[in-house]
Amino acid sequence: MPEPLIELAERMFIGPVWPASILVCLLVVYTLMALVGLIDFGFDVPDVDLDPGLDLDVPDLDVGLDLPDGAHVDLDFLHGLGATSVRLTNFSRIPVVLWGGIFAVVFWSLSYGLWHNYDAERYDPTWLTSLLLSIRNFVIATAITKGVTQPMLRWFVDPPSYDHRNLMGATCEICTTEATPKFGQAKFRTNASPLLLNVRTDGSHIAKGTEVRIIGFDKEKRIYKVTQLQSENQS
């Protein structure tokens, strides 16, 4: 192997540059295979249970602390937080191949540049140090990718067709373990992906899968107030 290639490989596969270089190599292999027609460019949005046109807020940090079923509520909270985090990075809003390609290039450039121009003079390329530096680079690269892809949203995301004004009086389904006056999320069915709404009940605890009616909206917190639908045999 020519000496320049050996030197390049040594600079690419060292310390925190390792994971970024592997990711770029996988991207190059995927691109080459797609170009020769062996696989398809998957220009599809990942199957994330969110509507791309709805501004979704991170659930309140004080939810579920006084509930006996606290463990389950914590899982629901983490699910909502994770879904929101994915959306905030634009990962679920533009084609995954496009987002992944931009991220891979930014992640590798950042890892390579920081290591050879800054980190190598201060740290040894041990496993722990490389892991911590890789996490740092991953977070920075995600933020940069978010900024780069933000202007692209107008090409892939339809403008919102639902807001609190036309959701009032509509019905939706509780999708967390339960909904209470302090915590809850519900799905509002649309012709496309369902909207994921932050909801609070009018006083009762409502179980998962129950149909509820939207009766109010808090503009500051962007939280919908819901009430359980009465059954037919109730007056």
Give the tens place of pLDDT for each residue, 70-126.
Answer: 444 455 555 555 566 666 777 777 888 888 899 999 999 999 999 999 999 999 989
In order, the DSSP letters of the chain are: --HHHHHHHHHHSSTTHHHHHHHHHHHHHHHHHHHTTSS---------SS-TTS--PPPPTTTTTT-TTHHHHHHHHHHHHHHHHHHHTTTTTS-HHHHHHHHHHHHHHHHHHHHHHTGGGT----HHHHHHHHHHHHHHHHHHHHHHHGGGHHHH-PPP---HHHHTT-EEEE-SSEE-SS--EEEE--SSSPEEEEEEESSS-EETT-EEEEEEEETTTTEEEEEEPPPTT--
- Mean pLDDT over the full length of the chain: 78
What's residue 60's pLDDT? 42
Is residue 45 pLDDT above 60, yes or no?
A: no
Give the tens place of pLDDT for each residue, 132-177.
Answer: 999 999 999 999 999 998 888 778 765 555 667 778 889 999 999 9
Integer Cα distance of 14 and 8 in angstroms: 11
All domains in the chain, ordered by first residue: 3-44+94-156 (no CATH), 70-88+161-228 (2.40.50.140)
Q: What is the token pair recorded at 25?
A: 């190599």
Integer Cα distance of 187 and 209 in angstroms: 10
Is residue 47 pLDDT above 80, yes or no?
A: no
Is residue 54 pLDDT above 50, yes or no?
A: no
What pTM, to 2 d.p., does this model score? 0.52
Is residue 46 pLDDT above 50, yes or no?
A: no
Half-sphere exposure of 164 (CA within 13 A, CB side): 17
Phi and psi for 97 in degrees, rounded to 5? Answer: -65, -40
CA angle centred on 75, ends 71 and 76, rounded to 5°: 115
Integer Cα distance of 137 and 117 in angstroms: 14
What's residue 163's pLDDT? 66
Mean pLDDT value across residues 45-62: 41
Give percent above pLDDT 90 in the chain.
39
